[in-house]
Structure 1
Amino acid sequence: MNNVYLKIFGIVTTIGMIIVLIQGVLVTQTGSGDACGAEWPLCLGQVFPESPTVQTMIEYTHRVVSGLLGIMVIILSIWSWKRLSHIRETKFFAVLAVAFIVFQGLLGAAAVVWGQSSAVMALHFGFSLISFASVMLLSLLAFEEDKSQAFDKPSLPASLRNYIYFVLCYLYIVVYTGALVKHTNSSAACSGWPLCNGQWIPPLEGRVAVQFGHRAAASLLFFAILILFIWVVRHYKQQKSIYYSSLVSLLFVTIQVISGAVVVFTGFSLATTMFHAVFASMLFGILSYTALLAYRSKQI
């Protein structure tokens, strides 16, 4: 119980990071990115905008909540550094969480003031994911403090460990392609699912190439995680931490694929698009945890 307040603060910060991710999707989907004008941190030249439109409020609240969460992430990182420094991964995740929340804020501010390419702005969501995963793992370390075996240490071969690292890196690429779809307004470039404009492989040009590329990458991700799960079930099912983390990863990627199809069938509605983004974040979080287990595993 020594770190009960740290645990609570970690949980609240982790939930807050998910809210920030949802708000970011909301800003993009509603075209509210420039609703505060080309000014930052002011909005339309004011600290509190007067008579704001709905889009202005969406952008403004995103800025406020992001700023608040940035402070909370810094507090959590310093707090964890002091209380959990004996756990070897603490300092790494603390630095990572702060670094990427700062990068995310600076990139968002630069986009407002000077504008950025769609490719660069897609990184904004990617940076948010890394910061979210780092905050989540810091929070888990606080729970581990009370029980040294909270994260058991599976025994895994180098081949499986390296494959887990590969899947995590590949997931980040897939997430980036998804963010690129949004920032290039390519969501509706492919009608129908799983076919794209009535074809399995459409002409790969312009926005169709961006959308189809994301679909293809996401499909390969599903099979990559399926292979991981089958590998674990066949040889390491008795090692519960790696078994359950791979099982949850497969569940989340399945939901992610289904939600992607639902997004298309519902005409890219705001609710389904936000749900799709949330599960992408949760999938990245659980695979990051799986990678932590792999890193801590005993080599066989």
Structure 2
Amino acid sequence: MPGSFDRRLRWLVWLTLLGTVFTTVVMLVGAWTRLVDAGLGCPDWPGCYGKLLVPDSDLATLRHPDVPLEPFKAWVEMVHRYIASLLGILVMAVVALGWPLRHRRGYPWRLSLLLLAVIILQGAFGAFTVTLQLWPQVVTLHLLGGLSVLLLFFWLHLRLRRSVISQADEPRRGNLWWGVAACLLVTQLALGGWVSSNYAGIACQGFPTCNGQWLPAMDISEGFHLTQTVGPNYLHGQLHADARTAIQVVHRLGALLLGAALVALWWRYWHWQNVTRPLAIVVSLFTLQAILGITNVLLWLPLWLALLHTAGAIALTIGLVWAWWCWRYHEAGAYSANSLTTYNNVIAD
């Protein structure tokens, strides 16, 4: 029935917005877990020393005598797992609520199923992160998986929100400008994950030079060797100094390329009414993110600033996706003042 359809759609709009926000929280807690060296606070999965709650030292010793219990780190790791599980439940709620609408024209049912598949895969990466002892490849994929969940939630929210406003008008297709910016952003996010998983955040002292040199000693082949042995404990990293320096320098160069691409994108569309402001925000977010990265190096990676750098990466990613969405429907006028007023009225009903 139309009334039931509208109510269900409104619930889905709010749930996907909640999912976007909550995924951000989960990712920041995950970053905090890593920054306080709690990624292996529990040596097993999904429980902690075989329990759903962190046990006392005696029980932990019986279960894993080779891994002494550190209660703070164990609780940090378990809190991350608890809230990640809640995120999985939220995804299942979105899929269940959308089930009756799956045959409705325009309803993004396949996108919902993709979100469910990615969150399941993300759970598997979470398990492998522990069982493979912070293997950098898995840790980096786990980060990218979290960003994928975030963007799928956000894209689903935008799709549902647009169905509330209007179902008319065909979207624009992507072009080279957006494709280059997107590829560079994904590459830079992967490089950031690789820096973090190999503990190369302060491999370079100083900025803009690295260890007092414009071209420091680097071992690129070792720094980007993707077939590292599975088995060693990768807490605090296994790479030598020159390999970590190579990772840090490439990350800096990637930031330069991404910044240039985002400025070029803004310059290309500065005269588009619905796009210039979102792209200006994206360029501003990138500038702030670059400042945070530089400050992290100069201040030797303080915890709160490293968390802000992670939050900046999330904001920049969301910002570029939002700008692309506005560009896709630029001529449709879906985000004119009247359309937004209609949307707000429907949601408030």
TM-score of the superposition, structure 1-length normalised?
Answer: 0.87
Match 2:146 to one of 128, 143, 162: 128
Partners of 2:188 and 2:254 within 8 A in 1: yes
Match 1:183 to one of 197, 200, 203: 197
Match 2:20 to one of 14, 17, 20: 14
Partners of 2:262 and 2:282 within 8 A in 1: yes
Deviations 1:146-189 (A, max 9, x none): 2117x98776xx7x722202211221111111111111111110
- Note if 1:100 corresponds to 2:118: yes
| Equivalent residues, number | 289
Partners of 1:165 and 1:291 within 8 A in 2: no
Aligned position for 2:39:
33
Structure 1: runs of 5+ lacking an equivalent: none
Inter-CA distance 267–61: structure 2 relative to 1 (3 Å threshold): same
Match 1:227 to one of 245, 264, 285: 264
Q: Distance in 2 between matches of 1:262 and 1:85?
A: 51
**Greater Rg by CA:** 2
Match 2:295 to one of 244, 255, 262: 262
- Note if 1:163 corresponds to 2:198: no
Q: Distance in 2 between matches of 1:204 and 1:15?
A: 39
Structure 2: runs of 5+ lacking an equivalent: 1-5, 57-69, 220-242, 332-349
Q: Distance in 1 between matches of 2:162 and 2:115?
A: 19
Q: Which amino acid aligns with 2:177?
A: Y
Match 1:144 to one of 162, 174, 177: 162
- Note if 1:64 corresponds to 2:82: yes
Aligned position for 1:212:
249
Q: Distance in 2 between matches of 1:22 and 1:217?
A: 23
Deviations 1:64-104 (A, max 9, x none): 11111012123224434644765647234323322222211
Q: Distance in 1 between matches of 2:104 and 2:256?
A: 41
Deviations 1:97-150 (A, max 9, x none): 22222211101102212435312321110111011011012122232222117x
Q: Which amino acid aligns with 1:187?
A: G
Higher relative contact order (CA 8 A, sep 6+): 1
Q: Distance in 1 between matches of 2:98 and 2:178?
A: 26
Q: Which amino acid aligns with 2:272?
A: K
Inter-CA distance 89–146: structure 2 relative to 1 (3 Å threshold): closer
Partners of 2:38 and 2:74 within 8 A in 1: yes
CA RMSD for the aligned pairs?
A: 2.5
TM-score of the superposition, structure 2-length normalised?
Answer: 0.75
Aligned position for 1:201:
215
